[in-house]
Structures are given as structure tokens and as C-alpha cells.
């Protein structure tokens, strides 16, 4: 089934028939007193939160939605859970004290369930929970799985790279991209007035069925652009859009993993030099490599095996035939490049993403949604490449100067292990050049 599926007044979903069927099975088990756990995983912007909202809306009993807290102190997520479940703050504090005792988490949750009415607990962004709360929750799931589960169903979402605990009889659904008809239905709902046909086709083509990317691309366009009276940005899905969707995921990865993702993306970009800037929006990112590492330098320097293997195990990178390493999600590769350039842009001009695309930044450290991204765009260490600016890039506000585009290209060739123009001989470059001219 394609297109929108929603009850009157309820959250609207697109192409999620199989996922809704899994939610219905969980609801039936909870109503029958068998309980259970359903895990939902997906990339940023693919609709995990929307699925939980729809499940809570459809559930015939009591449904609770619990989001990850703003901070990640010990037991902070458990505190948020019991604050939502309890009728009074005092009851929530008592439940938290019980949950922190040995094997007390399951008993604390069971105290809020009754034999009369089934309960559905929707936990969003489990990957943002603190370690203490995650471990206690997983132990409670395993404990209740070995005895009578009760009338409590758990619907739990997490990012694609998060590894769910082993829970007996738990089911996992993986969200994916929309079909053409589903994406078209979403676009019709996003545009109150119908978008011009060429504009809609271009947005659908560049978003490639990704609901979050499509929504972010539409949000940044003005009414004249949607109607075709004014031209669209080129590309319509640019760094601003991808930073809005993937920025939270990237900023919550360890620094070594972020650097490695950016390196893989840059090497892939260098490997496709000559395709032109417009071709970057559709290429599949990948980099040749062998064994347990990927080449990151012209002199045999290799990426650390531990971060690389972790990214492959988490599904953010994948090994291809011949040992090559590439991105599972091409949008993630482009977002990694954008994040590597962004800090230097933030220090030089202060304009950031708003100047580039007119979209609000909307970062407050909460995760993958538009209103919930961690960190500010200009915060962090500088990019090893710098923005691909021209030679006339001005130095603003006393910040670090932009690197010339030629320097970025030479650096990309070095990362790919490919010789530059100078390899053709001493006369191919540098002849008649002023000392130091054009160096990074």
C-alpha cells in the first residue's frame, strides 16, 4: 500500500503499512496479557518519531510517549520515564528509587500497569539514553520475558547505528525510503498550494524518497520558488538541508569517527574528480581499501582500524566487493563533507547555514529532529580541508582564512593517493610561479 495512511485527526504516515502491522501485533499481545517489545530503527528523518506518535494515537488503552532528556546524567532517562508514568512527582520519585535497586526496574514499571487496561510505552531515541537507564531497562525486558510479561507493550525507537539489546521474542522493524507514490503524497501535504510540476519532480528526484530530506528541502523554499516563478537552489538538497537532517547524528559520534567519515567522503570525492560539482548530488560514495583499513594519505597512512570497524559494524559504512569501504546512506556521506567544512565557515563569516540557504539552524542538542540537533553549526574543531572557496575568499571577523579551491583539490588528491598535475614533470606546475603562491 502506498501513499498516506492516517485516521481522521491522527498523525499521517506514508508507506508504513508493514510497520503499522507490527505495531498492531504488539498492541494485540499487550491486550491479551502477553506484553512484548518492538524495536524500530531508521536513519535520521525517516519517521521513527512519527511512527511512535501514530502508535500512541491508535492504541486502545493507555499510551505514554517518553523522549530522551536534554542531558545524559546517570539515571536521567529513567527519571524522565517515571515522571511520565506517575500521576504525581512524589510517585515518580518513589518509582525511580525502586528502579535503581537490584532488579527493581521491572517492578517499578509493573506498579503502573493494571489488569484492567493495557499499557503501551513508546520510548523515542533510545540511543540518547544514559548508560545506567539503558542497562536497567534491558535487564527488565529480559526478566519479564522469562515470566508472565503482563499487559505492558514497549515500542522503542533508535538510530540505525544503535545496537538493541538481545530480548527474547522481540521484533525489529527497519524504516526505509518512500516509494514514488508515497513521496508524492508527502510532497502534496507539505505544499499547501500545489508546487509547479518541474519543481516537484526535481525535489522528488533529489530527495530520493527520503521523507526528512524532502521535508527539509521544501521548508527552505519560498512560495515563488515552489510555484516556479523564481529558480530553485542548485542543488535543491544542499549542505544546509543535509546538516538539518543529519547534523544531530554526526555531532553525537566520537570525534575520531566523524573525522573518518569525512575522510572516506573526501577520498570518494577525489576519486570522482572531473565529474563536476553538480554530479556530487547523485554519486554513491565509496573508497578503495583492503584488510581492516581505508587509505587516507598518499604516503601509506591508514585509517585507524578500531573506528573503521565500529562504523562498519554500526551500519554507517559498508564493505563492498574487493574490500572497498563506502557509505550505506549516500546522504550521510554528503552530510559528513558538509560538517567538515562547516566549522571553518562559522568562524570566518558568522553567516552559517542561514546565509547559505535561509533556513533556521534550530539546534538544541536533542537528536535527529529539526528542532533537536546538538551543538551550533560553528562549534568544534576546524576542518582539515576548509570550505571549497575561491581564491578571493575574504577573511572576516579575524577568523582563519579560507583555503583556495586549488588547495582543496590537491589535498583531496593526496588523500586518495593519486598524483597531482606536478607528477607529469617539473614543467607541468610551478614554472614561473611566485614562491609560496597557491599553497594551502
The answer to the question of residue 436 being in a domain is no
Least confident of 157-161, 259-263, 391-395: 391-395
Q: Are residues 26 and 151 in the same domain?
A: yes
Whether 154 and 95 map to the same domain: the answer is yes
Residues in the chain: 440
Determine how many CB atoms are found less than 10 A away from the CB of residue 235: 17
Q: Name the β-bridge partners of 421.
A: none
| Cα gap 397→327, rounded to integer Å | 36
Tell me which residue range forms the domain holding 347.
Answer: 243-424
Region 221-246: mean pLDDT is: 92
Query: Domain boundary at 237, 253, 277, which?
Result: 237
Question: 3-class DSSP state for residue 166?
Answer: coil
Distance CA 352, CA 345 (A): 6
Q: Does a structural domain hold residue 430?
A: no
Separation CA 264–CA 44 (nearest Å): 20
DSSP string, 3-68: SEE--TTSPPEES-HHHHHHHHHHHHHHHTT--EEEEEEE-TTSSHHHHHHHHHHH-SSEEEEEPP
Q: Report yes or no on 434 lying in a domain.
A: no
Asked, for residue 251, whether it belongs to a domain, the answer is yes
321 within a domain of the structure (yes/no): yes
DSSP state of 178: P
CATH number of the domain bearing residue 24:
3.40.50.300
Handedness of CA 250, 254, 258, 261 (dihedral sign): negative
Q: Among 111-115, 170-174, 334-338, 393-397, where is mean pLDDT lowest?
A: 393-397
Cell of 87: 500521576
Structure confidence by residue, pLDDT tens digits, 254-271 = 888 888 898 888 887 766
Strand order in the sheet with 325-327: 286-287, 325-327, 317-319
**Phi/psi at 157 (5° precision):** -110, 150
Is residue 439 included in any domain, yes or no? no
Q: For 69-73, 141-145, 201-205, 280-284, which range has the lowest pLDDT when averaged over its residues? A: 280-284
Do 377 and 288 reside in the same domain of the chain? yes
Whether 112 maps to a domain, the answer reads yes
Same domain, 223 and 270: no
Last residue of a domain, one of 188, 221, 237: 237
Residue 171 phi, psi dihedral angles, 5° rounding: -110, 145
DSSP state, residue 189: H
Q: Please say whether the beta carbons of 269 and 337 come within 8 A.
A: yes
User: Based on the domain organization, do 363 and 248 belong to the same domain?
Assistant: yes
pTM for the full predicted model: 0.69
Whether residues 414 and 290 share a domain: the answer is yes
Residues 92 and 203 in one domain: no
**Dist. CA 385–CA 411, nearest whole Å:** 7
User: What distance in Å separates the CA atoms of residue 244 and residue 70, rounded to the nearest whole number?
Assistant: 18
301, 410: one domain: yes
- Give the per-residue pLDDT at 290: 34
CB environment 166-184: b (16+ within 10 A), e (fewer): ebeebeebebbbbeeebbb
Out of 159, 174, 189, a domain closes at 174
- Considering the domain architecture, whether residues 123 and 218 belong to the same structural domain is answered as no
DSSP secondary structure string for all residues of 243-295: HHHHHHHHHTS-HHHHHHHHHHHHHHHHHTTTS-GGGGGTPPPEE--BTTB-B
In a domain, 221, yes or no: yes
In this structure, the answer to whether residues 131 and 248 fall within a common structural domain is no
Contact criterion met (CB below 8 Å) for 185 and 3: yes
Neighbour-count burial of 35, counting CB atoms closer than 10 A to its CB (0-12 exposed, 13-18 middle, 19+ buried) = buried
The pLDDT score that the predictor gives to residue 284 is: 36
Residue 230 CA to residue 222 CA, distance in Å, equals 9
Distance CA 277, CA 268 (A): 13
Q: What domain count does the chain have?
A: 3
According to the model, what pLDDT value does residue 148 have?
57
52 falls in which pLDDT band (50, 70, 90)? very high
**Quick one: 237 exposed, middle or buried, by C-beta within 10 A (0-12, 13-18, 19+)?**
buried
Same domain, 129 and 257: no
> Are residues 106 and 169 located together in one domain of the fold?
yes
C-alpha cell at 70: 536534554
Amino acid at each position: 500500500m502506498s501513499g498516506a495512511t492516517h485516521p481522521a485527526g491522527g498523525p499521517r504516515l506514508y508507506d508504513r503499512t508493514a510497520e503499522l502491522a507490527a505495531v498492531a501485533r504488539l498492541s494485540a499481545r499487550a491486550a491479551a496479557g502477553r506484553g512484548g517489545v518492538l524495536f524500530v530503527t531508521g536513519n535520521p528523518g525517516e519517521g521513527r518519531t512519527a511512527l511512535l506518535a501514530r502508535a500512541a494515537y491508535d492504541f486502545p488503552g493507555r499510551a505514554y510517549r517518553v523522549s530522551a532528556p536534554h542531558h545524559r546524567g546517570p539515571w536521567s532517562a529513567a527519571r524522565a520515564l517515571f515522571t511520565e508514568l506517575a500521576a504525581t512527582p512524589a510517585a515518580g520519585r518513589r518509582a525511580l528509587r525502586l528502579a535503581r535497586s537490584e532488579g527493581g526496574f521491572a517492578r517499578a514499571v509493573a506498579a503502573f500497569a493494571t489488569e484492567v487496561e493495557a499499557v503501551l510505552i513508546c520510548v523515542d531515541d533510545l540511543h540518547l539514553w544514559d548508560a545506567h537507564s539503558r542497562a536497567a531497562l534491558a535487564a527488565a525486558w529480559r526478566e519479564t520475558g522469562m515470566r508472565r510479561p503482563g499487559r505492558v507493550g514497549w515500542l522503542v525507537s533508535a538510530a540505525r547505528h544503535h545496537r538493541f539489546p538481545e530480548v527474547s521474542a522481540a521484533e525489529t522493524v527497519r524504516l526505509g525510503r518512500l516509494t514514488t507514490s508515497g513521496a508524492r503524497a508527502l510532497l502534496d501535504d507539505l505544499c499547501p498550494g500545489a508546487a509547479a510540476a518541474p519543481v516537484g519532480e526535481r525535489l522528488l528526484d533529489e530527495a530520493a524518497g527520503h521523507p526528512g530530506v524532502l521535508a527539509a528541502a521544501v521548508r527552505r523554499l519560498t512560495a515563488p520558488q515552489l510555484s516556479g516563478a523564481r529558480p530553485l537552489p542548485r542543488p535543491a538538497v544542499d549542505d544546509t538541508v543535509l546538516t538539518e537532517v543529519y547534523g544531530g547524528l554526526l555531532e553525537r559520534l566520537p570525534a575520531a569517527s566523524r573525522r573518518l567519515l569525512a575522510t572516506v567522503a573526501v577520498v570518494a570525492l577525489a576519486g570522482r574528480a572531473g565529474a563536476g560539482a553538480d554530479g556530487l548530488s547523485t554519486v554513491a560514495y565509496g573508497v578503495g581499501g583492503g584488510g581492516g583499513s581505508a587509505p587516507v594519505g598518499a604516503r601509506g597512512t591508514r585509517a585507524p582500524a578500531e573506528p573503521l570497524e565500529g562504523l562498519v559494524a554500526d551500519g554507517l559504512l559498508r564493505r563492498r566487493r574487493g574490500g572497498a569501504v563506502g557509505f550505506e546512506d549516500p546522504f550521510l556521506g554528503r552530510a559528513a563533507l558538509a560538517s567538515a567544512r562547516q566549522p571553518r565557515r562559522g568562524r570566518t563569516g558568522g553567516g552559517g547555514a542561514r546565509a547559505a540557504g535561509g533556513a533556521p539552524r534550530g539546534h538544541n542538542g536533542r537528536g535527529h529532529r529539526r528542532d533537536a540537533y546538538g551543538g551550533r553549526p560553528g562549534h568544534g574543531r576546524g576542518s582539515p580541508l576548509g570550505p571549497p572557496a575561491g581564491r578571493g575568499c575574504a577573511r572576516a571577523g579575524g577568523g582563519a582564512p579560507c583555503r583556495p579551491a586549488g588547495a582543496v583539490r590537491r589535498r583531496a588528491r593526496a588523500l586518495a593517493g593519486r598524483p597531482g598535475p606536478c607528477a607529469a614533470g617539473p614543467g607541468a606546475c610551478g614554472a614561473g610561479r611566485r614562491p609560496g603562491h597557491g599553497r594551502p
